Chain A
C-alpha cells in the first residue's frame, strides 16, 4: 500500500509545480504585453505633444509676424517709430 502512495504524491507535486510555472510564465507574458500597450500609449502621447509644440511654435511665430505687429502697433495703439533725436543713449558700467 505504501509503495502505491508515493507516485501519486509525486505526480501531484509535479503537476502543481508545472501549473505554477505555466501560470507565472503566462502572467509575465501578459504583463509584458500590458507594458507594450502602455509604452505605445506614452510614445503616442509624446508624439502628439511634440506636434502640438511645433504647432504652437508656428502659431506664435505667425502672431509675431512683423507686418502684423507693426499694423497693430501703428493702427490700433497709435505707436510711431522714434526719431533719432528722441533716443537717449545710456551706457551702463
Chain B
C-alpha cells in the first residue's frame, strides 16, 4: 500500500503529538519521582502515614503441668476524642444505655466532658458484648468521635487459685502484687512503634516498624494447680471451722526445694485486685511473722545433738510442770517429773526444752539458728518476704535461751520454718525453696544445697519427729501406711505488753519419714475453740497428706513391696 504525502504529514502530526505527550509525561514523572522526590515523599507521609504505639503482650504464667494461671488476651477500649461538650454529652448519653458503667465511672466521664478534655476514656477492656453494642451504635449513628483502641486484658482462668503467688495487675497491666509485681520487668515486655501507611481508602499497604515490640516472657512456676486447689480448699475449711483470722500452708518437694503449693487465706480473685484491701493481699506464707512456739524445738534438738550437748536418751528434770529461770516462769501443758531428751520433743515439754537450751548454751544455739537461715531474707522470687526477727546474741537476756528453746523471742515466717524442717527431711541440707521453674522454657539452675548438719543428726531428729506423730502431740497428723514425721506448735500472741489468749497453731513435717518426698508446713492464725497445734493444724496436715499421697503416688517401702507387679 502506497502512502501519499498528505497522509504521511498527518501521521507525522499525530505521532508528533503522541511523542510530545510521552515526553511531557516522562518529564513530569522524572520531575516528580527524581527532582521532587523528597518533597512529595514527606507530603504523602503526612497524608497517609500514622505512627502508632504497640503495646507488648504480657507473658503467660503456667503451672508445673503447663496449665495457664494468667494470660493476656486482646480486648478493645472505647474513648472519645472531642472538645465539644455538647457533642460529647450526646455521645455519652447514647453510650450509657448500651453498656454498664458504675456511678463512679459515669461521674468521671461527665467531669472530663465538662472540663472540655480532648481525650476521655468511656470504658477500658470491654467485654465482647460491650464492644459489639458500642460498635453497632457507632455504625448506625454518626458518632465518629467514638473510637476504639486495642489493649490487653489479664485473665486468671483458675480464679482464686494461687492468688497470693500470682498477685495481679492494674488497668495498665502494671504488676501490683505477687509474681506479677516481682517479675514485672521480665513478664511485661517492651512496647514498640510502627509507621502505618494508608492509601486513599484508608487501607494499610505498608508497615514500617520504627521500634520492634518485644512480648513479655512466659513464666513456668513449680506450683501444681491441682495440689494448690485442694490445699487451698482444705485450708479454707479449717479456717472457717475454727473461725480463725487466717492461715497458710506450704507444700514443698523435699529433695528439689520446688514449692508445689503455697496457700494463704483469706484469698482473693486476682482479676479484682484493685478492690482488695492490703490486709487480704498479704501472703501469709511469706509475710506472716509469728512466734514459732514448740515447732522451734526441732531446731533446738538438732543443735543440741549436732553440738553433742546431750544424747537422745539423756534425762531432764521437768519439775512437774512449773519451772522458774530468772524472771521467766515456764509451764508445761501436762506436768512431767522427768523426761528423756527424746520425750521432751515427743511430748513437747517447754521446761525440758529450756533445760536442753541451758545445756547447749546461747552462743552455739544462736550460731545454729543463723545456720538454719532465720533472721535473713530468702531468695524466693516473691515480693514482701519478711526476714523475721532474731536478736543478736549480744542482746540476749539471761532468759533468752529458755525463751528461744520453746520458740519465743524470735519471729519467723512459715516459709522460713518449712526450709528449716526440710533440713531434717533432706538429710542435713539447707535447700533453697523455689517457685520459678523456667522463663520462656529456659530452666533455672537449682539454687544449690548446703550441708548444715550431719546425716546422722538429721536421721536421729527425723526418728524423734516420727515418734511425735506416732505417740506424741502430733498423733492427729498420722496417716495410714505412710510414716509421717512432724512437730506441733502452739504459740501465744504478745500484744500491748503481755501474752494474750490468742494463739498461732502450727504443724510442720515430712513424709514418708524413711525417705521424705514431701515437706509441709501449716499455720493457723488465732483459731477459736481449739488452739493446740496438734488439734488444729495437725488434722489439716493429715487431710492434705492423704490427698498428696494419692495424687503424687507416694508409697512407703512396705507398700512398694506389696504393689502388684506386671
Q: Are B15 and A12 in contact (CB under 8 A)?
A: yes
Q: Is A80 positioned at the interface, with any CB of B under 8 Å from its CB?
A: no
Report the count of interface residues on B (CB-CB < 8 A). 43
- Interface pair B158/A40, CB less than 8 Å apart: no
Q: Which of B22, B547, B559, B560 contacts A18 (CB 8 A)?
A: B22
0/1 interface trace, chain B 25-37, chain A, CB 8 Å (1 if under): 1100100000000
Contacts of A92 in B (CB 8 A): 566
A61–B71 CB distance below 8 A: yes
Which of B331-339, B366-374, B401-409, B548-556 faces chain A?
B548-556
A6 contacts the other chain (Cβ, under 8 Å)?
no
B26 touches A90 (CB 8 A): no
| B68 partner residues in chain A, CB cutoff 8 A | 57-58, 61
Let me know if A66 and B161 touch, CB within 8 A.
Answer: yes
On chain A, the residues within 8 Å of B23 by CB distance are 15
Taken together as a complex, chains A and B put the C-alpha atoms of A84 and B23 apart, in Å, by 95
What are the residues of chain A within 8 A of B205 when measuring CB–CB?
33, 36-37, 40
B471-515 residues with Cβ-Cβ distance < 8 A to A are 480-481
A-B pair count, CB < 8 Å, reads 90
Contact check, B22 vs A90: say whether CB atoms are below 8 A apart.
Answer: no
Q: Does B92 contact A (CB under 8 A)?
A: no
Kindly state the separation between the CA atoms of A15 and B19 in the bound complex, as whole angstroms.
Answer: 7
Cβ distance A87 to chain B, nearest Cβ, rounded Å = 6
Contacts of B550 on A, CB cut-off 8 Å?
Answer: 82, 84, 87
Task: Tell whether B241 is near chain A: CB-to-CB under 8 Å.
Answer: no
Assuming the A-B contacts A61-B71, A64-B67, are A89 and B564 also in contact, with contact meaning beta carbons closer than 8 angstroms in the complex? yes
Residues of B within 8 A of A54 (CB): 71-74
Residues of chain B within 8 A (CB-CB) of A65 are 157-159, 161
Cβ–Cβ contact A84 & B480, under 8 A: yes
A:2-47 near B, CB below 8 Å:
8, 11-12, 15, 18-19, 22, 33, 36-37, 40, 43
Give A19 to B18 CA distance when docked, in angstroms: 11
Name the B residues within 8 Å of A73 (CB-CB).
none
Q: Is the CB of B157 within 8 A of A90?
A: no
B226 lies within 8 A of A66 (CB): yes
Does chain A have a CB within 8 A of B563? yes
Are B564 and A90 in contact, with the CB atoms below 8 A? yes
In the complex, are the beta carbons of B157 and A84 less than 8 A apart?
Answer: no
**Is A77 interfacial (CB-CB < 8 Å)?**
no
Please indicate the chain A residues that have their CB under 8 angstroms from the CB of B74 in the complex.
Answer: 51, 54-55
Measured between alpha carbons, how far is A18 from B284 in the docked complex, in Å?
A: 81
Q: Which residues of A contact B559 (CB under 8 A)?
A: 89
User: How would you classify the secondary structure of chain A's contact residues: helix, strand, loop or mixed?
Assistant: helix
A18 to B19, CA, bound (A): 11
**Cα distance, A8 to B74, chains bound together (Å):** 66
The listed residue (B12, B29, B549, B566) touching A93 by CB distance below 8 A is: B566
Which residue of A15, A43, A89 contacts B553 across the interface (Cβ within 8 Å)?
A89
B1-55, CB < 8 A from A: 12, 15, 18-19, 22-23, 25-26, 29
Nearest Cβ distance between residue A19 and chain B, in whole angstroms? 6
* Total number of A residues with any Cβ neighbor in B under 8 Å: 35
Which of B155, B161, B226, B560 neighbours the largest number of chain A CB atoms within 10 Å of its CB?
Answer: B155
B contact residues around A18 at 8 Å (CB): 22, 26
Measured CB to CB, the nearest residue on chain B to A92 is B566
Quick check: B566 and A8 within 8 Å, CB to CB? no
Bound complex: CA A70 to CA B203 (Å): 50
Residue of A nearest to B158 (CB): A65
Which residues of B, 530-566, contact A by the 8 Å Cβ criterion? 546-547, 549-550, 553, 555, 559-560, 562-566
Q: Confirm or deny: B204 has a beta carbon within 8 angstroms of a beta carbon on chain A.
A: yes
- Assess whether A61 is in contact with B207, with CB atoms less than 8 Å apart: no
Near A by CB (< 8 A), chain B positions 199-214 give 203-207
Which residues of B lie under 8 Å from residue A59 when comparing CB positions?
A: 157
Q: Which residues of A contact B560 (CB under 8 A)?
A: 89, 91
Check A58–B26 contact: CB distance below 8 A. Answer: no
Task: State how many angstroms separate the Cβ of B334 from the closest Cβ of chain A.
Answer: 32
A43 to B547, CA, bound (A): 48
A84 to chain B minimum Cβ distance, whole angstroms, is: 6
What residues of chain A lie closer than 8 Å to B553, measured between beta carbons?
89
Minimum distance in angstroms from A29 CB to a CB of chain B: 10
**In the complex, chain A residues whose CB is within 8 Å of the CB of B157:** 58-59, 61-62, 64-65
Annotate B201-237 by CB proximity to A: 1 below 8 A, 0 otherwise: 0011111000000000000000001100100000000
The complex places the Cα of A36 from the Cα of B206 at a distance, in Å, of: 6
Which residues of chain B come closer than 8 Å to A33, judged between CB atoms?
205
Q: Which residues of chain A have C-beta atoms less than 8 A from B158's C-beta?
A: 61, 65-66
Q: Give the residues in chain B near A43, CB-CB below 8 Å.
A: 207
Q: How far is the CB of A50 from chain B (nearest CB, A)?
A: 9
A91 adjacent to B12 (CB under 8 Å): no
Q: How far is the CB of A14 from chain B (nearest CB, A)?
A: 9
Measured in the bound complex, the distance between the Cα atoms of B565 and A66 in whole Å is 32
Bound together, the chains give a CA A49 to CA B299 distance in angstroms of: 56
Residues of A within 8 A of B (CB): 8, 11-12, 15, 18-19, 22, 33, 36-37, 40, 43, 51, 54-55, 57-59, 61-62, 64-67, 70, 81-82, 84, 87-93
Q: List 18 A-B contacts (CB under 8 A).
A: A19-B22, A22-B25, A40-B203, A40-B204, A40-B205, A43-B207, A54-B72, A61-B67, A61-B71, A62-B157, A64-B67, A65-B157, A65-B158, A66-B225, A67-B229, A84-B481, A90-B565, A91-B560
Interface residues in chain B, defined as those with a beta carbon under 8 Å from any beta carbon in chain A: 12, 15, 18-19, 22-23, 25-26, 29, 67-68, 71-74, 155, 157-159, 161, 203-207, 225-226, 229, 480-481, 546-547, 549-550, 553, 555, 559-560, 562-566
11 other A-B residue contacts (CB within 8 Å) besides A58-B73, A90-B565, A93-B566 = A12-B15, A15-B18, A37-B205, A51-B73, A55-B74, A58-B155, A88-B564, A89-B564, A91-B563, A91-B564, A91-B565
